[in-house]
Structure 1
Amino acid sequence: MALPPRCLLAAAVCAALSLTAPAVASAQSTDPTTLDSVTVTGSRIKQSELETHVPVQVLTREDIDRSGFKSVSDIVQNLTASGAGLNTKFNSSGNFGFPPDGGGVGAGAATVDLRHLGPKRVLVLVDGIRWVNESSGSGVGSAVDLNTIPLALVDRIEVLEDGASSIYGSDAIAGVVNIITRKDVQGGDIELHYGTYDDLGGDTWGADMGYGGGNDRLQWFVGASYFKQEEAASSKYGPASVPVPGTGLDNGSSATPQGRFVFLDPATGLTHSITPNDGATDPAYIPGQGCERTDDFHCFTNDDRFNFAPYNLLLTPSERKTVFGQVRFAFNNDVGGYVRALYNQRDSANQAAPEPFFLGTDAGIYNPWGESLLVISAANPYNPFGFDLTTVGPDANLFLLGRRPVEGGPRRYEQDVETWYVAAGLDGAFNIADRPWSWDVNVVRSESKAEQTNTGSYNLRRINEALGDPAACAAITGCVPLNVFGGAGTITQEMLAFIQPVVRDESENSLTLVSANVTGALMQLPAGPLGFAAGYEYRKYEGAYRPDPITVAGEYNGVPSGPTAGEYDVNEVYAELAVPLYANPDRGSALDMSIAGRYSDYSTFGGESTGKLGLRWQVAEELVLRGTWAQGFRAPSIGELYGTLSRFDATLVDPCSGSANAVRPECVAQGVPADYVQTNPQISVVTSGNTGLQPETSRSLTLGGVWSPSFAAGAAWSERMDLGLTFYKHTIDDAIQAPDAQAILDRCVFEADPFSCASYDRSDRGQIVRFDDILDNLGTIRTAGWDASLAWLLPMQGWGQLRFDAKTTFVSSFELVNESGQAEPRGPGVEVNDSAIPEWTSSLTTQWSHGPWSLAWSMRYIGELRESCGGANGYPICDDSTADLNRLDATTYHDLQASWNSDAWMRGLRVSLGVNNLTGEDPPICLSCSLNGYDASTYDLPGRFFYARVGVKF
């Protein structure tokens, strides 16, 4: 798809206004000058060209410092090619349940997503070697937690925006993030930083320290990092303190502090859906009445629903402590060795509203203690109805009891995560026929262990016992009758002591890796040396998730999950060639080709081969054209393979709900009664891993070029200008996923799709009581788009020097085709399920420097989005009633930083003051987003973030 006229790269004004580059991103250099050979991310062959066959974006230390961010995740998540990665703005535990991939919610972690293909399809390297996957106490993660890598350790970040499985193996479908650490350090440095959000709190502060030295044979560097981020409550931001702004309580919970009771009165045969009146702590029930009642109850309506949002967090607390070090030693001129180590400890937390009880045959909680074994005894001293409420057998008359015990406080999930990493290796150089070669051998062992402690949850078996026969309860140590009928404040501390446990879950991930590589020139061809690289790699992954014993026993009232344990290993060999086809130094032109292949043998599914072909044509000294075609694959993770039955609670709109919908022929065919109304917007969905999964396979194509016009080099108006344009296309087959739950409902009701209709069951009252959504190799993902960049450096003047860095990503297409051959709702310009794919994402940095002073102004642009209102056109938030859409306006963030550098004290002093989101832009309100009413993976927190940094070198 052609770029629209307003965004043609050739228009310099447009480039400055809308072709923006990340505030943290420098444009790719195109200088054709011969350089020392180096290894660039995307190839194992050492090369002298700055512009290789593949697009690599390099974020220097200067770029990182100028950004105003203090974590690796914030840096890479603000690239224009980034998608929806997990971060500390996601208050995830307890609300997102256990996702289908068995990885848990990753609470407190931060991940990177490229091309909107998911964090699992991005490979994260540190100095070209894999990093261990995250572990946050809720599952076996399949992505790297970037919070385990402190910025103090980072020299630069290289981002390959292209498939690279033939070079690096599994996971590199969407691209590679290679974090290069600091090595050649002389002396010490320390930086202190502090930041805060206006009106929200969320204070952050910390310190980074490093010290290094060495001589001709020895180099060493050690350091430590401390980071602390305070929480910010949702109640401090108005739009986040209601379930979804613009919808009232329609999407609130039917589990309320007063309680909701849906039951059949055996004496009258009437079915009731009632709740106690306000202040009725000991409500009286008079049988035989409808909604015009004279007792202490009234019929439940939307106005009675519970607003859970104020209990959530906008920003989750996190405290991270890291120590690290590395040493390199040259045994002689040809052989050296290294050892590097890191230890990271993270304490983080998430918070959710008080945990509800959902009991009864329509509860859909997949737990017999609440669905098929429960008897609330008539003898319970708090039961106002005078008869048993039971879910047992043909006499079952309790369809739903929803109670929100605010007396027990909010759910709090606290993570204690420890990650350690040790790597050692040897490397060296030798000559063959006067041609230089180099080699390296590496050994890595790394582990991440986590414990998550959950307070504010409940034991469902004990709730059952406390609601049952008081005589049986009296025989159980600590048991007292439970009052769920009297409204807020009637559950006593003695009752809570019996039913409220402390839940502890554990998880771990480990990586063992051995690799060997060799690279050099095989022979001299007419156009140059024939470059070659080859190597071997062995990896072993081990992972386990151990939920609390009460969860394993099926007694946990919250989201259930089963234990997971598994391991697999892989042996791989690869080879790569860099073939010079043509060279004319006099004209500054050259043509060369790269060829790479890799064979991987997995213990889980067998062998897999991938290949890659690239062409690079240096048309002239100022113009480079390039293209690649690559195969890729991603092996199923431990969670995807071995995860056992678990559950997540999806917010779904049942198409059969409501009297107008329930009479649809499709709904009648499913046995839905005419008066059916969906009890709760959250429907429990069961998922699990699948040992029969096969790897995903992919095909990637990139075409583009970089132009550094000679007329803009060394001119009075321009010191240098670089312009780049890249087209990308990715296709993923056999994508590992669970079908979208809302799409399953819609396809069954509107299209009578047999697969979809077999995925769930309804009770005779129409309520969904079973919903299965199991992982499989389902469907195809296709995406394509354009990256455009501009870097312009003006000459030094008496008033200083200006620099402009710009980048834009345009997503021209994104399609996820499901197992039925139909497109899922995701697409360019669409927001769905806390995940957006903006068509246009841009950023621009303008930097002025003069002597010790510098001033940077950055703009980050996110294009307009739209989301479905699910037929709820009556909501004020749904501003396009014709198309049944809510439109999220385009958003632009402005960041400003002023810095002063001086070497007059010690070896250097740097002071920086800045503000991100200078204009206090609020994120657009989102109907389909969970918790806080906006997409935390796409937008900044509301309000300004002020920060200050002081760094000194000694």
Structure 2
Amino acid sequence: MKTTNKWLLATSVFALSAAGAAYAQEDGDDDTLRQQTVTVTGSAIAGTPEDAALPVDVLTAGDLQLEGSPTITELIRNLGVSSGTDSQTNQFASNGLEGTSNINLRGLGPARTLVLINGRRQTFHPYAIGEQAQLFVDTNMIPTAAVGRIEVLKDGAAAIYGSDAIAGVVNFITRDDFEGFEVGGDYSTFEGTDGNYNINATYGLQGENWGWVTSVGYNKRSEVSLLEKDWAIVPFSENPVGGWSSLSNPGYYVPLGFTGTGVGPIAGAVGDNGCTDVGGIVVGTCRFQFTQFDNLVEEEERYQVFSEYNREFANGVNMHLEALYGYSDVPEWKTSPSYPPQVLTNQVVPASHPGFAQYRADNPTAFPAGTLAALYIGRSFGWGGFPGTGGAQEGFRTYESYRLGGQFDGQFSNGVNWDTALTWSQTEGERITNDTYINGLTIALQGFGVCGDANTGAIPAGAVAGQGDCEYYNPFSNAIQSSAITGQANPNYVPGLENSSTLAEWMTDGVGSVVTTNLTVFDATLSGLSGVQAAGGEIGWAAGVQVRRESYEVDPNEVTDLTQNPGPGGTGPFSFLAGTTPFDESQTIYAAFGELQVPLFEDVDMQFAVRYEDYGGDVGSTFDPKVAAKWQVSDGFALRGSAQSSFRGPTLNQLSGQVTTLQFVAPTSAFKAVDQFGNPQLDPESAFSFNFGALFDNGNGFTASADYYNFDFKDPIIVEDQASIVGAALAAIAAGNQQAAILNRVTFTDNNSNGINEPNEIARITTNVVNGPDIQTSGIDLRAEQVWDAGRGEFTLGGEATYVFEYDVDDFQIEDAIIPGGDRVDQFNRSNFSRSLPQIKANLFANYMFGNHNIRGVMRYIDSYDDERGDLTGNGNSDIDSQTTFDVFYTWRSDYDLDLGLSVVNVTDEDPPFAQFELNYDPYTHNPFGRTFKISLTKRFGGN
């Protein structure tokens, strides 16, 4: 068989095998630290990434070692094509995704990047990104010790892989040929942390026709409070949206008494005079900075195991078996001592309340004569911390993943190749977040805390307020012994009036659920050579089918289950967090696909692929073609390009169900509950994309590539922006249009009892999962590298950059309101469904390799961008500054099979640029840790 035909056959086998693992085709010593020639994802063209017909970046284990063996989270964040990733603790926007990581290519959303393990799908993480309802693959579950290389296809690939590959594909390929035993670990530290460490081991056996490799990993991250970083906690005057809430504890009160027509307000609001004594500030009302109780990094612990067995039988049949297990635990997730209540009218303090009586005695002019009670405007626990912990309230997150896969492939006697595979994966997650019972707070203010039923509000017969087992909840500052942040004693504290830990635990409970995702995939592929000759060689072909079975189950605990506990308002029994309903749905997706590899001329190769995918029911089906070409213009210059349509069907969580997220609502200067509802009428989202590029190799150590990309994205599945809904609703009120349909999306509570809806009376917002506005985005990826012989070693200069030309979003309608679109490049995008999108991200490096040593320096640059909301701080500036950081890495691969790595990330200790956000930086874009030191050791025993 000619070499050309062998290449065609290999290409055909891979291109439409949804799970065919790409194997390295190495032409050098395996011990070298330099990148090898590989078969790349999406086209299987043997060559380096710069030689590929499709825009693919390949990162080998050796490449990663040269940059300090970063975690997958760190690796993805640094990619130029990656924008807006959820990889840092960020409870203020990512909502409960602590301990996870995802990939967001081109800023199109993590759900639109297909993540594969050895070319095969992995089930979604069970919890979606709160603001976007997007499910994603949690890359933290993959042990880094098992990864041989990572291939990033920066191109639509639905015709090859099916749904979700709109923005591209990231394929984690494991080390199937390892032999011997390897153990390693690393420790990293930065200011404010007790350190993070990873321990891993790999054991491999290789026989004449079989191989078995198993890798295990253990990861530990230490908790880091936001208080450890001076830039993370700033005064109200510097950033009023930096974690400041107008609903505090101490709070303020509306005096109630006889008005002549009944009981109602008899005077204006009265502020608690103990606000500043416990740490608050008074700006109109007492302000509470909840971020002082939150973490920059949560404590995390993770276990990972990956094992694979490969065998070639005597009849030529190959078998591949693999298994993965991952467990991730966030045992003490920290948050504010309490959340602000959404409805305040039930927080009535009677005049007979001991704390109220004491406050009036100490402040005789604070409340007017005739005060019979007061409406408390505030949260249950604040500056004094949560009783029992003395600080933050705690919850937890746990995730557990399983994966089993098997593949058989071979060749019939007529030369046709066959490939079958079955893969099953499951992830189960549990999250608990505490909140205050609505009825519990109501009866505790009346003196029936602990003895009554916090859920239903039932009071035992014969119970006497504040007597026996019954306790008063005291909202006044005289209940706070000292500041939970500074420890400073409160001069207003009166012993005996404090809230007990027993009362606090009775008033609160865990809002939580167990959510499970399952995915089973069957693949079958035939491929071979057609016998038809084109000018450049024989045409290859492939055809096959795929069946995917997805399931999604939500099992809320009893107090969260709306079918059992609808609460007084129908959204559950808690003050802030809404409940949810049980959910158990599944769908089966059928696909058929085909491909041709056509060597049109000796120097022109073409790829044609088509895929039909059927979701059934209301979602329907889709047909997607792809064409790709490479023209080798000369020995050192080539052109490549591709065009394709891609799609993504709605996931089960988007089609049904209800979840609640916590989002900052600017007109209220506070976080509010945003209820999000699924939509069974969703259409699949689709995209037409194309790219073209040029490759250059002068044959003397210099290589370069440039690729232009363009995506025309239709019907993207989004969650309606609460900021747009609120803005449109308030605009309708200002215009006097009280009948505007958009007002149906906002729940107001008339705290002022004047019959007029006002911004500070917003209680909840309703959003839907919908097909959103069309998106057009384009840009260019650049890469260049020069290698020189340098005496006893080798010196390399190189870099890569991505420049985004546009990210244009069409106008969009919600109810009767038109939400304007526009170009979202160079924006923070906190007021819409997009993510932060700097126009330029670039990495430049210099590398010197001599003997067993390697020294590498990297400069990382992220362009400045603008907060489209304007100046929220009053300092006249809404820009988020550019950031340039420098990393230095040293690697020593000794003659004793011992590797040493030393690294300093962010050598100059740059703080992340300031952003008008709760955390005072953009967690989707910047590294917040400052100068980080890391040491790693790896020892190999025997084998290769």
Task: State if a TM-score over 0.5 links the two structures.
Answer: yes
Shift of 1:897: 0.8
Match in the other structure for 1:953 = 940
Match in the other structure for 1:891 = 883
So what's the TM-score if we normalise by structure 2? 0.82
Match in the other structure for 1:721 = 702
Distance 1:478 1:444, change over 3 A: farther
Instruction: Judge which range, 54-63 or 444-453, deviates more.
Output: 444-453
Q: Distance in 2 between matches of 1:185 and 1:280?
A: 63
Instruction: Judge which range, 543-552 or 376-385, deviates more.
Output: 376-385
Shift of 1:192: 1.7
Q: Distance in 1 between matches of 2:27 and 2:176?
A: 26
Task: Confirm or deny that 1:575 pairs with 2:594.
Answer: yes
Kept in 2: contact 1:572–1:598 (CA 8 A): yes
SS in structure 2 at match of 1:830 = coil
Kept in 1: contact 2:255–2:267 (CA 8 A): yes
Q: Distance in 2 between matches of 1:438 and 1:614?
A: 23
Superposed, 1:308-707 pairs within 5 Å as 308-349=290-331, 351-356=333-338, 358-359=340-341, 363-364=342-343, 376-384=349-357, 398=375, 400-405=377-382, 406-408=385-387, 409-430=391-412, 432=414, 436-454=415-433, 457-468=435-446, 470=448, 473=459, 475=461, 479-487=470-478, 488-489=480-481, 490-525=498-533, 526-552=535-561, 553=565, 554-563=572-581, 564-583=583-602, 590-604=603-617, 605-644=619-658, 646-654=659-667, 678=668, 680-707=669-696
Match in the other structure for 1:41 = 41
Superposed, 1:127-206 pairs within 5 Å as 127-135=118-126, 142-197=135-190, 199-206=191-198
Choose which of 254, 278, 286 in structure 2 pairs with 1:304. 286
Distance 1:474 1:377, change over 3 A: farther
SS in structure 1 at match of 2:123 = coil
Match in the other structure for 2:910 = 921
Q: Distance in 1 between matches of 2:275 and 2:597?
A: 79
Kept in 2: contact 1:68–1:897 (CA 8 A): yes
Distance 1:576 1:243, change over 3 A: farther
Deviations 1:348-389 (A, max 9, x none): 256444343645xxx35xxxxx65x66554554444599xxx
Kept in 2: contact 1:202–1:315 (CA 8 A): no
Distance 1:69 1:311, change over 3 A: farther
Shift of 1:279: 8.4
Distance 1:202 1:135, change over 3 A: farther
Q: Distance in 2 between matches of 1:185 and 1:539?
A: 31
Identity of aligned residues (%): 26
Where structure 1 has 5 or more consecutive residues not aligned to the other structure, the ranges are: 1-27, 283-297, 365-369, 387-394, 584-589, 655-677, 714-718, 880-885
Q: Distance in 2 between matches of 1:478 and 1:446?
A: 50
Q: Distance in 2 between matches of 1:558 and 1:771?
A: 12
Q: Distance in 2 between matches of 1:151 and 1:281?
A: 50
SS in structure 1 at match of 2:937 = strand
Shift of 1:635: 0.9
Distance 1:244 1:727, change over 3 A: farther
Kept in 1: contact 2:42–2:54 (CA 8 A): yes
Kept in 2: contact 1:68–1:916 (CA 8 A): no
Q: Distance in 2 between matches of 1:822 and 1:505?
A: 34
Choose which of 901, 910, 924 in structure 2 pairs with 1:912. 901
Amino acid at match of 1:482: Y
Amino acid at match of 1:516: A
Distance 1:148 1:479, change over 3 A: farther
Choose which of 272, 275, 280 in structure 1 pairs with 2:271. 275
Superposed, 1:229-308 pairs within 5 Å as 229-242=221-234, 246-247=238-239, 252-262=244-254, 265-267=257-259, 269-278=265-274, 301-302=283-284, 304-308=286-290
Distance 1:826 1:550, change over 3 A: farther
Distance 1:917 1:278, change over 3 A: same
Shift of 1:696: 0.5
Choose which of 810, 821, 827 in structure 2 pairs with 1:817. 810
Amino acid at match of 2:302: R
Q: Distance in 2 between matches of 1:208 and 1:687?
A: 40
Kept in 2: contact 1:150–1:322 (CA 8 A): yes
Kept in 1: contact 2:143–2:305 (CA 8 A): no
Q: Distance in 2 between matches of 1:825 and 1:557?
A: 37
Match in the other structure for 2:211 = 219
Q: Distance in 1 between matches of 2:177 and 2:105?
A: 30
Superposed, 1:36-75 pairs within 5 Å as 40-43=40-43, 51-75=51-75
Kept in 1: contact 2:86–2:101 (CA 8 A): yes
Amino acid at match of 2:252: R
Deviations 1:196-239 (A, max 9, x none): 01x22151112111111222211111121111111111001112
Aligned CA-pair RMSD? 3.2
Kept in 2: contact 1:46–1:519 (CA 8 A): no
Shift of 1:473: 4.0
Q: Distance in 2 between matches of 1:176 and 1:332?
A: 35
Shift of 1:822: 5.0
SS in structure 2 at match of 1:744 = helix
Shift of 1:132: 1.4
Kept in 2: contact 1:809–1:841 (CA 8 A): yes
Where structure 2 has 5 or more consecutive residues not aligned to the other structure, the ranges are: 1-24, 29-35, 361-371, 453-457, 482-497, 566-571
Distance 1:49 1:855, change over 3 A: closer
Superposed, 1:758-769 pairs within 5 Å as 758-762=744-748, 763=750, 764-765=755-756, 766=758, 767-769=761-763
SS in structure 2 at match of 1:802 = strand
Q: Distance in 1 between matches of 2:710 and 2:231?
A: 38
Task: Confirm or deny that 1:875 pairs with 2:861.
Answer: no
Shift of 1:936: 1.5
Kept in 2: contact 1:260–1:403 (CA 8 A): no
Deviations 1:401-425 (A, max 9, x none): 4443423341223222211111012
SS in structure 1 at match of 2:140 = helix
Shift of 1:461: 2.5
Shift of 1:863: 0.5
Distance 1:867 1:621, change over 3 A: same
Shift of 1:756: 4.3
Choose which of 88, 94, 106 in structure 1 pairs with 2:97. 106
Shift of 1:52: 3.7
Match in the other structure for 2:775 = 781
Q: Distance in 1 between matches of 2:806 and 2:281?
A: 48
SS in structure 2 at match of 1:461 = helix
Kept in 1: contact 2:251–2:376 (CA 8 A): no
Q: Distance in 1 between matches of 2:298 and 2:590?
A: 40
Distance 1:572 1:768, change over 3 A: same
Shift of 1:919: 0.7
Distance 1:280 1:652, change over 3 A: closer
Q: Distance in 1 between matches of 2:113 and 2:848?
A: 34
Kept in 2: contact 1:320–1:344 (CA 8 A): yes
Kept in 1: contact 2:615–2:621 (CA 8 A): yes
